[in-house]
Amino acid sequence: MRLKGKVALITGSTRGIGKAFAMGFAKEGAEIIVHGRNLEKAKAVAEEIKLLGVRSFAVAGDVSLSGDVLKMVEEAIQASRKIDILINNAGVNPFILEAENIKEEGWDQVMDINLKGVFLCCQAVGKRMIEQGGGKIINISSAVGFLGEQGFLPYAVSKAGVMMLTKVLAYEWSKYYISVNAIAPGLVAGGMNAPILSKDILVKGLSEQVPLKRLGRPEEIVNLALFLASDEATYINGTTIVADGGMTGYRPFGFLDMIAGMMKKKE
């Protein structure tokens, strides 16, 4: 029960790794503010969390819209009186395309949610944490933000931006006793990767590119976030911790080339 008495707001926590964060933090005693675009889905997860014996409340909104963010933070404060922990998990990667084929609206969609949305949530919650006298913010980046990858240009740029956002906020807000860190997962089984990993041949091919020869498990990322949110990580600030099985010490996958090669073998 490392987080007993703490309140955690987790964006994008109605499914995938976001829901795993919510359930994992609840098991450690934290009160959970579940967030999603759809309020009914957020309420359903909040009800699941209550079965674990902790309080939970649902909020909804688009993290790329400042009005929605301010509203959901205000609702969270009214329900729980404070926010001790913010996990910026909400993110999208709606397409895998060569750079020359990316449309402006596609670029904007990824940047608005993955980078602007993280900033808006940090700013809104950060102001509350300043008033409270401290807090912990954990931003979810990606190993792709270090490596780059074929077909992932806007996603990679947005996640690299999250790392720099984390550094600067940590520098500015340390005087308020707010720590800001990021986690950069590699390929994790589940969440937004589910469509990519629906075929065994892809799972095998991608796993072979990771030095540990397997994909990450959601609970491995959750455990890292729990550590950063706990009192065990009080001297860690402004850093991005990579959890990718050694991928960033290796090389990019060459994702599009690998898919093309697999298709040729299949033919």
Distance CA 213, CA 241 (A): 20
| Alpha-carbon gap, residue 34 to 31, rounded angstroms | 10
> For 98, phi and psi rounded to 5 degrees?
-65, 150
Q: How far is CA 119 from the centre of its chain?
A: 13
Of 90, 98, 73, nearest to 7 (Cα)?
73
CB distance 102 to 158 below 8 Å: no
Please say if 250 is a catalytic residue.
no
Which residues, 6 or more positions from 121, have their beta carbon under 8 angstroms from its beta carbon? 11, 63, 69, 73, 86, 88, 90
User: Max Cα separation, the chain?
Assistant: 62
**Of 155, 171, 177, 235, catalytic:** 155
Cα 166 to Cα 137, 140, 192, 241: the distances in Å are 9, 10, 22, 11
Amino acid letter at 256? L
Q: Which residue type occupies 196?
A: I
Catalytic positions: 155
